[in-house]
Structure 1
Amino acid sequence: MELATVMDRLAVDEVVTEYAVAVDDGDWAAYRELFTADGRADYRSAGGIEGEAGQVAGWLAGSLEPFAMRQHLIVNRQVRFGILEHDTGDTAQVRADYLNPMRFAGDGGSGAPDLVCGGRYAFGLLRTAEGWRLRRVAVEERWRRMPERGPAAVPG
């Protein structure tokens, strides 16, 4: 494997990690900056919307506001580089599984997640003058679980 390919793999992996951190931290400006000007995201399988990155960032901000804690774990990343205009490595496709525990605000600090979901991401990236950017993100939610709550603790 060539050094340039290794460097591209690391850069693409960093974009995917930055995506997860931006969503978990609610940093919607950083989220938007990860996308190309024509970048789109599709969250319909998780009950969301599909649209341009800025529009989707607004929807995510509202939808995720009730959750004080969010923690994307994006694993099993498969990276494939593609060809654009007869050059190699101008595009990348990443398929990765995710696990996402979330806890509602005002949960009393139990630490246990109120909602856990999992599925698969499909990321499409493009090499730009600014580096690798997301052109497309598609979420395929495969499962969702809301753990049962036990009886409320009585303050002692």
Structure 2
Amino acid sequence: MTQRVDLSTVMDRLSIDAVITGYARAVDDGEWADYQALFAADGRADYRGAGGIEGPAAEVAEWLAETMRLFPVRQHLIVNRLLDLQDLGGYPGDRAEVRADYLNPMRLEGAANNENSAEGRATAPNFVSGGRYAFTLSRTGNGWRIRTVTVHEKWRGAADSLSAR
């Protein structure tokens, strides 16, 4: 591989990482237009593995907007990312797969948690889940976009029962 190809591969990896991070931020911040913009025109999301729906990104964004109203505070982390970039004989292709674990703490609306920090914020979320995402991405005229995302929830529980004392 030449240095130019190596640099192109690094740039692709950084761009794909930015899409995955943008996905987490859009969901956590309830920015559903931003969420949809991360997907290819025919992009789909599958949340059935976490009790949700599967369908076109726009349809799933509407479902998420309604469902996430139950959890006004969200801050999930996408970690342990394993990226497989298509290799065309030493040159980067236009497809990629990412498998990544997630940890998803959320606070229920109107939750009764009387343990507050000095700033008045509750110190522990009410609900937490973890699992793995499987993303497929494609290079488009607008950069890397998600073609599919599938959520595989592995566990969930009340955060109060999981917190250290």
TM-score normalised per structure 2:
0.84
Q: Sequence identity of aligned pairs in percent?
A: 60
Give 4+ residue runs of structure 1 displaced > 3 Å after superposition: none
Find out whether 1:82 has 2:51 as its counterpart.
no
**Other structure's SS at 1:140 match:** strand
- SS at the partner of 2:132? strand
CA distance in 2, matches of 1:75, 1:148: 23
The CA distance in 2 between the partners of 1:10 and 1:144, in whole Å, is 31
Q: Which residue of 1 aligns with 2:124?
A: 112
Q: Where in structure 2 are the equivalents of 1:136-151 lying within 5 Å?
A: 136-148=148-160
Per-residue displacement from partner, 1:56-97 (whole Å, max 9, x unpaired)?
Answer: 00111111111121011000001001268xx74200100000
Question: Shift of the alpha carbon at 1:38?
Answer: 0.4
Q: Which one of 19, 26, 33 corresponds to residue 37 of structure 2?
A: 33
Change (3 A) 1:148 1:112: closer
C-alpha RMSD of the superposition: 1.7
In structure 2, the residue matched to 1:100 is: 104
**For this pair of structures, how many residues does the alignment match?**
147
Task: Provide closer, same or farther for how the CA distance between residues 64 and 31 of structure 1 changes in structure 2, counting only shifts above 3 A.
Answer: same
Structure 2: gaps of 5 or more residues: 114-120
| In 1: Cα distance, 2:122 partner to 2:92 partner | 50
| 2:71 maps to which of 67, 77, 82 | 67
> Please, what TM-score do these two structures have when normalized by structure 1?
0.89
Equivalent position of 2:116 in the other structure? none
CA distance in 2: counterparts of 1:90 and 1:147, whole angstroms: 40
For residue 84 of structure 2, give the secondary structure of its aligned residue in structure 1: strand
